Structure 1
Amino acid sequence: MVQTNPFVIEGYLSPEYFCDRIDETALLTRHLTNRCNVALIAQRRLGKSGLIHNCFYQKAIREQYHCIFVDIYDTKDLNEFVYALGKGILTALKPKGRKAWEFFVNMLQSLKSTISFDINGNPEWSVGIGDIQAPDTTLDEIFAYLEHADKPCIVAIDEFQTIASYPEKTVEATLRKRIQNCHNASFVFSGSKRHMMALMFTSQSRPFYHSSSIMGLEPIDRTVYRDFANRHLARNGKTISDEAFSYIYGRFDGVTWYIQYILNMLYTAISTDSILTTDDAKAAIAGILAQHRFAYQALVYQLTSKQKQVLTAIAAENGPTSIMSQAFLRKYGLGASTVQGAVKVLLDRDFISQDDGTYRLCDRFLEMYLQEELQ
């Protein structure tokens, strides 16, 4: 029998493999069952999606609601948003049986001719983005379905701040109006760009002002996370020392995805010792960087020499706050105009993030790779 690695990196399996978030799960569940929309705001890879799926798993929700999860991170305009939303709803309804998905398909009159069926008669989302000729019309049909579905719906839209960058400047307003008039669905607006999300939901000039309860996520408590790790490591006759776990937790600021990735590697590490040490943790990280080295080389190759220079300087400083200071510019041989131009590109392409005045690489493993390149 194949043994599942308990340290899940992508997706969600069950509460057994989900660490803590007991209070957050209870709060989110309470909001949604009270028909209250929620803006869930936290940095990337801290576990927002996992929390949402863990909430969907709760008996009070999974048996009473249609649960829909839509990731719009890669969408560029309203057409792509409508495409992602429609596909997400159909994906969620297919396992519920013909009655559930057939009603949705029949509501999509503007796309009905483009939805195909497999040999078993189940619908396939064969719609192309170009098939959505009138996104406002299709959006009306989707919301008509949500309003008249046989069960109340919970719709989680991940990376919701993306809609603020669409070329259509009325998307926030048009979505807010439809959501406000949809009484059979609750929404989770999940976002990782905290400044943008805060503006969307707390600025009086924005359509979503005071439309949702706001929840933030902090890193999982270190001791709780260590105990979770050791409970699962025990399956393989191992345990991780407090020093080793503290090293991992501190090196990645408690960000869930990185800790999970390293524990995933340690779970199957070839070691004769039952206690995993800091050296084992460092070896696991070195192995991850080695696996990613070729991809990181190709990624950085896309940048101009000045952009790479600025990216490397930010990585070396490990979270600088004053990249326009004379000290920073002199230390890395940069000009102010060079930094300004490069930072704009790096932010737009998600190489770096800016939060509370601090610049960090979005990928901490890439950050470590660049730091090694400097040595």
Structure 2
Amino acid sequence: MINNPFIITGSIPEKYFCDRREESKKIIRTLSNGGNLCLISPRRMGKSKLIRFCYDKPECADSYYTFYIDILHTSSMREFAYVFGLKVFETLQGKSRKMFMAFVQGLRSVNAKFGFDPLNGTPTFSLELGDISRPEFTLTEIFDCLEKADKPCIVAFDEFQQISKYPEKNIEALLRSHIQHLSNVHFIFSCSERHLVTEMFLSSARPFYNSTSILELHPIVAEEYIPFVCHWFDVYERTIREEDVLVIYRLFEGNTYYMQKTFHEAFINTPVGGSCTLDILRQTVDGVLEEAGDGYRQLLSRIPERQKELLYAIASAGKAEKIMSAGFIRKYSLVSSSAVQAAARKLMELDLLTEEDTIYFIPDILFRMYLQRLKNTNIIFVPS
């Protein structure tokens, strides 16, 4: 038994994984039948944990090489090729010496340094971003290696919509030209920015149009999550009321990570034999906000005043519509509709603001709460 059943880092053993039964079945079924999948949800809804959970299932772990590549921090095709190649190297190094050597020998377009550690005899690989001069060739070599692998491969690109922000305009067409001809490699495109994803996969003018199955990840329903929390408090000789779990569920609108983080900390703050009260939950949420505060303050320091004013206004509204109307501008003392339009466009590019069905909101719920508290220092998110 582990020390805390509300796991927030690393892999989650199946018994500590809440629900997602149907979603994991669909992912494995789609991939095992030779298809590709686009997985869509807001950030921190559990996409990466779900992918890793599926990777750990015997259906994947025993029959496939699995690769997980987070590309959120990348800003060019060259960086994409670098991160992709490095992750393939790291994964194969621990899985198959035969495949590892095939990969090393197949990377002819890079100036990477290969060798062996004299202490333990294991291969070494040093690849720097500057070693990649022709990323389109490097990508071809990586895909060729995976296509010739002795087991089928699953590649998950997390935050795949990031490629639409690269300066290279042909990256979608280049990747699609490779992917459509691969029979030994299957893909998960994990995405969080809905407006970009919709355009990328559902527009007939784009290379990835109609090329994958689509799975949208919604919040775990309260009827599943609340008993899950109460059960594990009980197993570890603590108690918590269902109605108090519901308070946190509603506060974070079912956001998987923030709920899990809160109950992880609340579990620590509840002694064996004790009860996790609303007061403990309130203090825990305050602590989570405080912990995130430094990062949010730095983020706000880099945002121009007009954009910041709009963020405060939309945070105060919770969810806002007609943000360029005279009424909204007057209510929140904004400058003009043109200034609001420009600020909204930039904030959406930064993924700090989302628009769905003409409704604008801040997708990071904790950031929204942080802004609300800045505007009203007396606000209480969880009643005592």
User: TM-score by structure 1 length?
Assistant: 0.94
CA contact (8 A) 1:245 1:278 kept: no
Q: Does 1:363 align with 2:372?
A: no
Q: Which stretch of the first structure deviates more once superposed, 15-24 or 26-35?
A: 15-24
C-alpha separation between the residues in 2 aligned to 1:111 and 1:280? 54
- Structure 1 residues 116 and 226: alpha-carbon distance in aligned structure 2, compared to 1, 3 A threshold: farther
Q: 1:20 maps to which residue?
A: 19
C-alpha separation between the residues in 2 aligned to 1:192 and 1:360? 14
Q: 2:257 maps to which residue?
A: 257
Shift, 1:318, TM fit: 0.7
List alignment gaps of at least 5 residues for structure 1: none
Q: 2:130 maps to which residue?
A: 130
List alignment gaps of at least 5 residues for structure 2: 377-384
Q: 1:48 maps to which residue?
A: 47
3-state DSSP class of the match of 1:206? coil
C-alpha separation between the residues in 2 aligned to 1:198 and 1:293? 32
Shift, 1:266, TM fit: 0.7
Q: Deviation per CA, 1:259-313, whole angstroms, max 9, x where unpaired?
A: 1110111110145873323332222101111223333223212223322211111
3-state DSSP class of the match of 2:69? strand
3-state DSSP class of the match of 2:321? coil
Q: Deviation per CA, 1:25-56, whole angstroms, max 9, x where unpaired?
A: 11111111101111111111111111111111
Which one-letter code corresponds to 2:77 in the other structure?
Answer: L
Q: 1:34 maps to which residue?
A: 33
Q: 1:57 maps to which residue?
A: 56
- Structure 1 residues 113 and 99: alpha-carbon distance in aligned structure 2, compared to 1, 3 A threshold: same
C-alpha separation between the residues in 2 aligned to 1:227 and 1:360? 30
- Structure 1 residues 123 and 79: alpha-carbon distance in aligned structure 2, compared to 1, 3 A threshold: farther
CA contact (8 A) 1:105 1:112 kept: no
C-alpha separation between the residues in 1 aligned to 2:294 and 2:286? 14
Which one-letter code corresponds to 2:56 in the other structure?
Answer: Y
Shift, 1:3, TM fit: 4.2
Q: Which stretch of the first structure deviates more once superposed, 106-115 or 84-93?
A: 106-115
C-alpha separation between the residues in 2 aligned to 1:75 and 1:123? 27
Q: 1:336 maps to which residue?
A: 337
User: TM-score by structure 2 length?
Assistant: 0.92
Which one-letter code corresponds to 2:346 in the other structure?
Answer: V
C-alpha separation between the residues in 1 aligned to 2:354 and 2:7? 25
3-state DSSP class of the match of 1:96? coil
Shift, 1:321, TM fit: 2.3
Identity of aligned residues (%): 39
Q: 2:205 maps to which residue?
A: 205
Shift, 1:342, TM fit: 2.1
C-alpha separation between the residues in 1 aligned to 2:168 and 2:346? 22
C-alpha separation between the residues in 1 aligned to 2:188 and 2:294? 37
Q: 2:275 maps to which residue?
A: 275
Q: Which stretch of the first structure deviates more once superposed, 365-374 or 338-347?
A: 338-347
- Structure 1 residues 298 and 104: alpha-carbon distance in aligned structure 2, compared to 1, 3 A threshold: same
3-state DSSP class of the match of 2:355? strand
C-alpha separation between the residues in 2 aligned to 1:144 and 1:305? 49
Shift, 1:129, TM fit: 1.3
Count of aligned residue pairs for this structure pair: 374
C-alpha separation between the residues in 1 aligned to 2:203 and 2:124? 40
3-state DSSP class of the match of 1:36? coil
Q: 2:106 maps to which residue?
A: 107
Q: CA RMSD in A?
A: 1.9
- Structure 1 residues 134 and 287: alpha-carbon distance in aligned structure 2, compared to 1, 3 A threshold: same
Q: Which stretch of the first structure deviates more once superposed, 246-255 or 304-313?
A: 304-313
C-alpha separation between the residues in 2 aligned to 1:156 and 1:25? 14
Q: Which stretch of the first structure deviates more once superposed, 267-276 or 170-179?
A: 267-276
Shift, 1:112, TM fit: 5.9
The aligned runs of 1:90-169 (5 Å cut-off) are 90-111=89-110, 113-115=112-114, 117-118=116-117, 119-169=119-169
Q: Deviation per CA, 1:207-245, whole angstroms, max 9, x where unpaired?
A: 111111111111111121112212222343223211111
C-alpha separation between the residues in 1 aligned to 2:160 and 2:46? 15
- Structure 1 residues 63 and 296: alpha-carbon distance in aligned structure 2, compared to 1, 3 A threshold: same
C-alpha separation between the residues in 2 aligned to 1:91 and 1:230? 39
3-state DSSP class of the match of 1:155? strand
C-alpha separation between the residues in 1 aligned to 2:357 and 2:339? 22
CA contact (8 A) 1:243 1:277 kept: no
Q: Deviation per CA, 1:59-84, whole angstroms, max 9, x where unpaired?
A: 11110100011111111111011111
Q: Does 1:214 align with 2:203?
A: no
CA contact (8 A) 1:71 1:158 kept: yes
- Structure 1 residues 294 and 117: alpha-carbon distance in aligned structure 2, compared to 1, 3 A threshold: same
C-alpha separation between the residues in 2 aligned to 1:115 and 1:354? 48
3-state DSSP class of the match of 1:69? strand
